[in-house]
Amino acid sequence: MAPPEKEVDIQGAAHHGDDNLKCDLAEETVPRPESIANMSDAEIQAMETSMVRKMDMVIMPIMGILYILNYVDRSALAATKVYGIMEDLNMTNTDFATAISILFAGYIPFQIPSNLVMTKIPRPGLYICSAAAVWGAVSACTAAVKSYEGLLVVRVFLGITEAVFFPGVIYFLSAWYTKSELGKRLAALFMFQMLGSAFGGFVAAACLTLDGRYGIAGWRWLFIVEGVVTVGCGLLFALIMPEYPHNARLLKPVERDYAVWRLEREAGAGEAHEDVTTWGGFKQAMLDPKIWTLVWCMGMGQAMGSIVNFFPSIVQTLGYNKINTMLLTAPPYVLAAITFYAISYISDRKNWMYGIIVSCLAVALLAYAIALGTIQTGPRYFAMMLMPSACSGPQIMLYKTLNLHMARPYPKRAAGVAMLNAIGGLSNVWSSYLYYDPPHYYAAFGCLLGCTISFIITITGYLVWVRRTNKLLSGTPEQQRKAMKSGVTQQQVDLGWRYIGY
């Protein structure tokens, strides 16, 4: 139990922003490694700047490029509806919705096991990049399907192979970056996603020009080109992707020590020193109501984001030809990438998450209301310009929330991230059947409007809960013990740790 005088100090640090005091408490609880014990603050700052720059130069481009390819491969099917896959495989609109949603039959169940495995393997970077090469090969196989049933089989296997990537990357980044750095890196990942969606439209338009070349339809060329590029990048990146900070060849030995220490002084023992079992962390995640609250919010956010799978079809209802339809899908994603940079900068600088989430959801309410109320080209396209930013911005903040609020033990964090993406991703299955009755799409836009309202109500309830818990953490030893029942460790109490951003 922390002595009374320390509790007063922690409370003062929490309420008055005494950063120096909190740093002293952190160093008392998690002492500096010997390799940096005698370094001055200026020397440590210079080393940290150089180290983070090195991390960014290697990790972020690799993750970003793979995420572009991940999203392009997954969303390619949405573009092929405009190209003629419906006619070639004798598919109805319901068949197409099933082909979209069945990917998640493989994608959802394999994410949690994959992340739990990742906490126990010494080379997670190799694991992620190798998975990219495999899903690229599976995606290229889509070009060979001759029937609707064959398409469904390939889509299930694509979901299984892609299950490694996204939750794995979110967990991987949280094992490298601090709370003041993580938001911008998560936003960068989503920016790459938006660029992938925009780039996918240009690639699709380019592949359309190959229609008939060597007797191969344009939509088949799309899967061939994207799949081959993904395989090549996955194999190349597997050779250079770093591992966890404590064993990364990317860093010098002193940088490894500092990289581990700076994370552990924020939230306690991490990947290098944690002794909680994988199964124990999974059980803690499953029994934590905070994680299930965020999972529900992610489900609402994923439902809102399901519109991306049908963007080309909706744009086509505005009366444009095939190539212009694909090109017009790009600007909303470019705007979203710019928006993500802005919100991540504000979030990391001000430690805000709730305010950003609610602001994005307010924009979503406007966008879905306009889309529900009119099919005129100008207002409808204006609403569509807002949708990618409004639906994906809150998801960035949810991932950041989980990684900071459920930081320790790390197997729990890994399981929580996978639950957020996998169980929350179930919304992609049922929401795929909402996009009928063009050009109005009343069912789709009406349901997404309801999901937005549910998201706002639920995340506001989460806000009330974490503020109440923060008061307990600033209170008496008995109140602190009550707060610890919700998943806060004694080490985090000693560090003056709080649920930030809400």
The confidence score (pLDDT) of residue 272 equals 46
Could you tell me if 490 and 484 are in contact, meaning their C-beta atoms sit under 8 angstroms apart? yes
Could you tell me if 477 and 442 are in contact, meaning their C-beta atoms sit under 8 angstroms apart? no
The confidence score (pLDDT) of residue 448 equals 94
- Tell me the pLDDT band of 12, cut-offs 50, 70 and 90: very low
Percentage above 90 pLDDT, the chain: 30
Asked whether residue 167 carries a pLDDT value surpassing 90, the answer given is: no
The segment with the largest mean pLDDT, out of 16-20, 340-344, 353-357, 485-489, is: 353-357
Asked whether residue 29 carries a pLDDT value surpassing 80, the answer given is: no
Quote the CA–CA distance of 191 and 194 in Å, as a whole number.
Answer: 5
Quote the CA–CA distance of 179 and 500 in Å, as a whole number.
Answer: 10
The confidence score (pLDDT) of residue 216 equals 87
Asked whether residue 153 carries a pLDDT value surpassing 80, the answer given is: yes
Least confident of 66-70, 263-267, 460-464: 263-267
The confidence score (pLDDT) of residue 1 equals 41
Q: What is the pLDDT of residues 220-254, one digit of tens each?
A: 998 998 899 999 999 999 999 888 888 888 899 99
| Among 237, 240, 238, 258, CA closest to 249 | 240
- Three-state secondary structure string covering 219-271: HHHHHHHHHHHHHHHHHHHHCCCCCCHHHCCCCCHHHHHHHHHHHHHHHCCCC
Q: What is the pLDDT of residues 278-321, one digit of tens each?
A: 778 788 888 899 999 999 999 999 999 888 777 777 877 777 77
Percentage above 70 pLDDT, the chain: 90
* Between residues 486 and 170, the one the model is more confident about: 170
Place of tokens 């959801």: 361
The confidence score (pLDDT) of residue 398 equals 94
How far, in whole angstroms, is CA 247 from its chain's centroid?
25
Q: Which distant-in-sequence residues (6+ apart) come within 8 Å of 377 by Cβ? A: 318, 319
The confidence score (pLDDT) of residue 295 equals 96
Asked whether residue 259 carries a pLDDT value surpassing 60, the answer given is: yes
The confidence score (pLDDT) of residue 67 equals 87
| Among 119, 104, 96, CA closest to 163 | 104
Helices 377-405, 354-373: crossing angle, 10 deg rounding: 160
- Tell me the pLDDT band of 201, cut-offs 50, 70 and 90: low
The confidence score (pLDDT) of residue 9 equals 39
* Between residues 458 and 265, the one the model is more confident about: 458
Asked whether residue 93 carries a pLDDT value surpassing 90, the answer given is: no
Q: Is the dihedral of CA 86, 71, 378, 447 positive or negative?
A: positive
Query: Cα dist. 277→167, 190, 210, 411 in Å?
Result: 19, 31, 52, 7
What mean pLDDT do residues 32-60 have? 90
The confidence score (pLDDT) of residue 408 equals 66
- Tell me the pLDDT band of 26, cut-offs 50, 70 and 90: low
Q: What is the pLDDT of residues 399-443, one digit of tens each?
A: 989 988 886 677 788 888 888 988 998 888 888 788 888 888 899
The segment with the largest mean pLDDT, out of 101-105, 177-181, 385-389, is: 385-389
| Among 43, 38, 63, 153, CA closest to 105 | 153
The confidence score (pLDDT) of residue 366 equals 95
Could you tell me if 230 and 196 are in contact, meaning their C-beta atoms sit under 8 angstroms apart? no
AA identity, residue 165: F
What mean pLDDT do residues 247-268 have? 84
What average pLDDT does the structure give for the chain? Answer: 84
Q: What is the pLDDT of residues 99-143, one digit of tens each?
A: 888 888 888 888 888 888 887 888 888 999 999 999 999 999 999
Asked whether residue 465 carries a pLDDT value surpassing 50, the answer given is: yes
Quote the CA–CA distance of 211 and 188 in Å, as a whole number.
Answer: 34
C-alpha angle with apex 421: 492 to 282, nearest 5 degrees? 50
Residue 212 has which token pair?
A: 């008939």
The segment with the largest mean pLDDT, out of 60-64, 72-76, 125-129, 296-300, is: 296-300
Quote the CA–CA distance of 493 and 84 in Å, as a whole number.
Answer: 59
The confidence score (pLDDT) of residue 16 equals 43
The confidence score (pLDDT) of residue 364 equals 95
The confidence score (pLDDT) of residue 2 equals 41
The confidence score (pLDDT) of residue 267 equals 57
* Between residues 452 and 492, the one the model is more confident about: 452
Instruction: Give this prediction's pTM.
Output: 0.72
The confidence score (pLDDT) of residue 51 equals 93
Domains in the chain and their CATH numbers?
Answer: 4-495 (1.20.1250.20)
How far, in whole angstroms, is CA 155 from its chain's centroid?
21
The confidence score (pLDDT) of residue 320 equals 76
Quote the CA–CA distance of 243 and 251 in Å, as a whole number.
Answer: 10
Asked whether residue 348 carries a pLDDT value surpassing 90, the answer given is: no
The confidence score (pLDDT) of residue 11 equals 37
